[in-house]
């Protein structure tokens, strides 16, 4: 069994479970770490036009810029250099919004307000597929990805789905969370995890580089996606459902 100790409302609690799932926070001990020398500036912004539950991602010379629907505004994830991220967080709101408008364009109208600005460094981190038994890392605890294309979130959802499915279909007499049981889980997740991590890393290299050949290649690639619906739909399925898509 897993022996779990946690703090809640200032008190320490202990419990035992067949399986302890760690799903929050970056990997404590990573088998692989890549520093992208980039930072993500996060904030909540408001624009003139409603989001209508549509998310946007623009690829700029500094890195991707994403706007995600959030109540009556947007959750902003703006990838840029560390120095520029620091400047964006420190400047006056009007100056920040002017830069955002210049970078994103007028698709959602003028940006009118911003709050909650913060920045954090971007790294790729992945843990080893191993466990002491009855404990497993999933989602952001197992792999921390660059935010490009939102693949870290999708990969985490598929981790949780696969784990829940294996637990639900385990027969009687099966030791939930045993080393053998966890190795089956890791084997089922391995292809999808490697593919998601590899694709995200490749997208970072392609869309965070301002070299002319790469600019031409990504422009051509995005244009082809828009012109070939079956290819676009295949990519969307693969990015959403992973190897199962």
Say if residue 172 is in the same domain as residue 133.
yes
Pair of tokens at residue 93? 């709101």
Looking at the structure, tell me whether residues 25 and 85 fall in a common domain: no
The answer to whether the CB of 79 falls within 8 A of the CB of 65 is yes
Longest CA pairwise span in the chain (Å): 63
**Same domain, residue pair 152 and 76:** no
Which of 108, 123, 138 corresponds to the end of one domain?
123
Q: What is the pLDDT of residue 215?
A: 67
114 plus 159 within the same structural domain: no
Range of the domain at 161: 19-31+124-244
10 Å CB burial of residue 245 (0-12, 13-18, 19+) is middle
**27 and 42 within one domain:** no
132, 139 Cβ separation under 8 angstroms: no
pLDDT at site 171:
76
**Buried residues in 51-79 as b, exposed as e (16+ CB within 10 A):** beeeeeeebbebbbbbbeeeeebbbbbbb
pLDDT by residue, tens only, the chain of 245 residues? 888 888 899 999 999 989 999 888 755 566 778 899 999 999 999 999 999 999 999 988 888 899 999 999 999 999 999 999 999 999 999 999 999 999 999 999 999 999 999 999 999 988 876 666 788 999 988 999 999 888 888 999 999 999 999 999 987 778 888 988 999 999 999 999 998 898 888 888 877 666 667 667 766 766 666 677 776 676 667 767 776 65
Geometric angle at alpha carbon 134, from 1 and 179, rounded to 5°: 120
- Same domain? For 138 and 238 the reply is yes
């Amino acid at each position: 069994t897993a022996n779990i100790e946690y703090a809640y409302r200032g008190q320490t609690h202990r419990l035992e479970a067949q399986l302890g799932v760690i799903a929050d926070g970056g990997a404590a001990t990573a088998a692989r770490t890549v520093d992208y020398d980039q930072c993500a500036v996060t904030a909540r912004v408001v624009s003139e036009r409603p989001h209508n539950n549509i998310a946007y991602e623009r690829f700029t010379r500094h890195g991707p810029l994403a706007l995600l629907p959030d109540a009556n505004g947007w959750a902003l994830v703006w990838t840029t250099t560390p120095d520029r991220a620091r400047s964006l967080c420190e400047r006056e709101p009007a100056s920040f919004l002017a830069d955002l408008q210049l970078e994103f364009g007028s698709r959602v109208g003028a940006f009118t307000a911003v709050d909650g600005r913060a920045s954090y460094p971007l790294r790729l981190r992945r843990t080893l597929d191993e466990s002491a038994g009855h404990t497993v890392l999933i989602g952001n605890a197992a792999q921390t990805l660059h935010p490009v294309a939102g693949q870290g979130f999708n990969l985490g959802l598929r981790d949780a789905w696969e784990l829940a499915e294996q637990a639900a279909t385990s027969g009687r007499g099966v030791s939930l969370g045993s080393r053998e049981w966890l190795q089956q889980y890791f084997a089922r997740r391995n292809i999808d995890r490697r593919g998601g991590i590899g694709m995200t890393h490749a997208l970072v290299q392609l869309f965070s580089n301002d070299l002319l050949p790469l600019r031409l290649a990504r422009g051509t690639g995005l244009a082809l996606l828009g012109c070939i619906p079956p290819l676009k739909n295949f990519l969307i399925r693969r990015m959403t459902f992973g190897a199962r898509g």
